[in-house]
Amino acid sequence: MTVDQPTGFGPDFLWGVSTSAYQIEGGVTEGGRGPSTWDTFCAEPGRILNGDTGAVACDHYHRYAEDVALMKDLGVGAYRFSFAWPRIQPAGKGPANAEGLAFYDRLIDELLAQGIKPVPTLYHWDTPQALEDEGGWLNRDITDRFAEYASILAERFGDRVPQWITLNEPVVLTLFAYGVGAHAPGKQLMFESLPVAHHQLLAHGKAVQALRAGGAGNIGIASNHAPTWPASDSAEDQGAAAVYDTLFNWLFADPVLLGRYPNDDLAAAMPGPVAEDLAVIGTPIDWYGINHYSPARIGAAIGQADTAASDGIEIPSGLPFEPRELEGYPKTDFGWPVVPEAFGEILRTFQQRYGDRLPPIYITENGCAINDGPGSNGVVDDQRRIEFLDGYLRSLAEVVAEGIDVRGYFQWSLLDNFEWAAGYSQRFGLVHVDFETLVRTPKASYRWYRDLIAR
């Protein structure tokens, strides 16, 4: 353990852990749950490494009490999880599924009984397959379906949930799932995926309004953000990096925080009555969630794209930019560079860009894939994860000391889990999961984080 741990966060700073439904729940055919796009995607040969699926995952659906006990021992004040939309509405519309609601009743009540604040996300990429069959996020109708879904959740859980998240990382669904086809539903639409961004943002705005109408409050969004670093000082690389930065960062933050798109070209590419929609998208939120992992190094498109710089995803031709490897930094086992100073950089950029339009910030995800398993003594000695957390939290402490209003930090993730297209090959958890026996083993990093929280 690092004795000299990061300090300076204050007694009211919220410490938590994060997960998502498809990555940990399992039970995909139980309790009246309908099929999701990820069930369909996993069933398609070649989509997921080693043919893995989320059918069982960590079996949190049955073992949630054991996992809440781990959180209680860890000492976290909050747990960020996600509702599985197809568990609540199997077809994405119509009456709620009583068994699905009952599962989340049990989870939320167990969290509250242990003094842990539930912080649910309404949508973490598991679209009901029935809605995808109708066009999914390309179909504007899904925004009204999402608002209805939000109303159901507010009515059922609004009396017990003190903090809400509408969407997780709309950039990933837009560009990875509909743009290049690496995530469910596996579309390869390139820039024709931009309506997916608009419809997610519109769904977010409608959900904020629906939650508030249902008596819920303290609402935010969890969006993925990181600095974009040009591959060189050339005008071509600088321009390519600017395009990437706009698409990956400001396309998703500007409409929510400023009520407008970053430029007129993007606004013109969006479907529907864009000006009217932006008034809904810009519905004021109570806080803004930032998921952060690593910066991106971007150059002009000259056929030198580094697939390792984008989760190993093959980069299609025709884009005006290419990811390049960021050299000179340690790497996680997923190949992501470990750059603690980038954490502070993106938070300072948000403060500079949005000023008094920026609400309080919560770090809704931050973590790393370190694939250490139990040693001969049964201990998972993941020192590289401890080093990662120590560095990133020191960077976070610096911006807190500068007066940037960051009120909490959710570590990704409580458990080793199903890591999307990478299957079970990457371990992000503070707790090791044996995916054969489902035995949970807290790692050295779990104890380090527990000691940090206790201090």
- Global pTM reads 0.97
Instruction: Say which residue the tokens 């990478």 belong to.
Output: 422
Q: How far apart are CA 127 and CA 184, in angstroms?
A: 9
**Quick one: which of 21, 40, 35 has its CA closest to 91?**
35
Q: Which amino acid is at 263?
A: N
Q: What is the pLDDT of residues 321-347, one digit of tens each?
A: 999 999 999 999 999 999 999 999 999
Give residue 2's pLDDT band: very low, low, confident or very high (50, 70, 90).
very low
CATH 3.40.640.10 fits 14-454, yes or no: no
pLDDT at 285 over 50: yes
Average pLDDT over residues 211-223: 98
Q: What is the pLDDT of residues 400-455, one digit of tens each?
A: 999 999 999 999 999 999 999 999 999 999 999 999 999 999 999 999 999 999 99
Give residue 4's pLDDT band: very low, low, confident or very high (50, 70, 90).
confident
Q: How far apart are CA 149 and CA 207, in angstroms?
A: 8
User: Active site residue: 110, 132, 169, 345, which one?
Assistant: 169
Residue 312: per-residue pLDDT: 60
255 preceded by a cis bond (ω within 30 of 0): no
H/E segment holding residue 318: none
Q: In the chain, where are the structural domains located?
A: 14-454
Residue 169 is a catalytic residue: yes
Residue 148 is a catalytic residue: no
User: Active site residue: 365, 387, 398, 419, which one?
Assistant: 365
Average pLDDT over residues 140-153: 98
Q: What is the pLDDT of residues 219-265, one digit of tens each?
A: 999 999 999 999 999 999 999 999 999 999 999 999 999 999 999 99
Residues counted in the chain:
455
Residue 70's DSSP bridge partners are: none
321 burial level (CB within 10 Å; 0-12, 13-18, 19+): buried
Query: How crowded is the C-beta side of 324, counted as CA atoms within 13 Å?
Result: 20
**Is the sign of the CA dihedral 365, 18, 81, 381 positive or negative?**
positive
Instruction: Say which residue the tokens 């997921």 belong to.
Output: 48
Q: What is the number of other CB atoms lying within 10 angstroms of the CB of residue 435?
A: 16
